[in-house]
Amino acid sequence: MTNRYLRAVRRSFAPDGDLETRAARSGVWMTALNISRRVLELVALLVLARLLTPDDFGLLGIALLTLTGLDRFSQLGFTSALIQRSEDNVDRYLNTAWTLQIARGLLLGGLTVALAGPAARFFAEPAVEPILMVIAVIPLWMASKTPAWSTSRRTYSSTNSSSTS
């Protein structure tokens, strides 16, 4: 019985079938990944809600709301640009993309620190200020990942599509 499930999983990773089959298969995988991510986020929130007092949980929510707002309004879109680039070799763009990503992370971190006081006053919660100052390192940490993974996804997908033709 276990072998049957393993074979089904292996088949779902196989790059065979027509375009419609591959698109449906990747849609199922993307949906499964998205649901898994949301479930893990919910579990993390439940654990935090259990560990923190309601007041502390609210403070963390305010801090994360501020950080997420800054992040959403400053997306650069380099990952999408590198994937959609018509050239086969985008290696010469990776250093530029990574440098701008790091600069964005530094800018967001600095903005988070600069807006810590005003955000605390806006929400009438002085305890939010030190929390924002601590989580200001998150944008830099997130920016430190290399943009090369996006080109590896493109290379993988073009390899799969050419092997099935």
pLDDT value, residue 149: 61
What is the DSSP-derived secondary structure letter of residue 137?
Answer: T
User: Quick one: what percent of the chain has pLDDT higher than 70?
Assistant: 78
Tell me the C-alpha distance between 77 and 153, whole Å: 16
Instruction: Check pLDDT > 90 for residue 165.
Output: no
What is the DSSP-derived secondary structure letter of residue 14?
Answer: -
Tell me whether residue 18 is exposed, middle or buried, using C-beta atoms within 10 angstroms of its C-beta: 0 to 12, 13 to 18, 19 or more.
exposed
Q: Token match 């479930």: residue?
A: 39
Which tens digits make up the pLDDT trace of 150-160? 555 555 555 44
**DSSP states of 32-43:** HHHHHHHHHHHH
CA angle centred on 79, ends 86 and 11, rounded to 5° = 80
Centre a 10 Å sphere on the Cβ of residue 31 and count the other Cβ atoms it contains.
Answer: 10
| Cα atoms found within 13 Å of the Cα of residue 134, Cβ hemisphere only | 9
Q: Token match 């080109």: residue?
A: 151
pLDDT value, residue 89: 67
pLDDT value, residue 154: 52
> What type of residue is 4?
R
Domain ranges for the chain, please list them. Answer: 1-51, 53-165
Instruction: Check pLDDT > 50 for residue 125.
Output: yes
Q: Token match 């997306």: residue?
A: 75
Which tens digits make up the pLDDT trace of 35-60? 999 999 999 999 999 999 999 999 99
Q: Are 115 and 132 in contact (CB under 8 A)?
A: yes
pLDDT value, residue 132: 93
Which tens digits make up the pLDDT trace of 59-98? 999 998 988 888 888 777 777 777 676 666 667 777 788 8
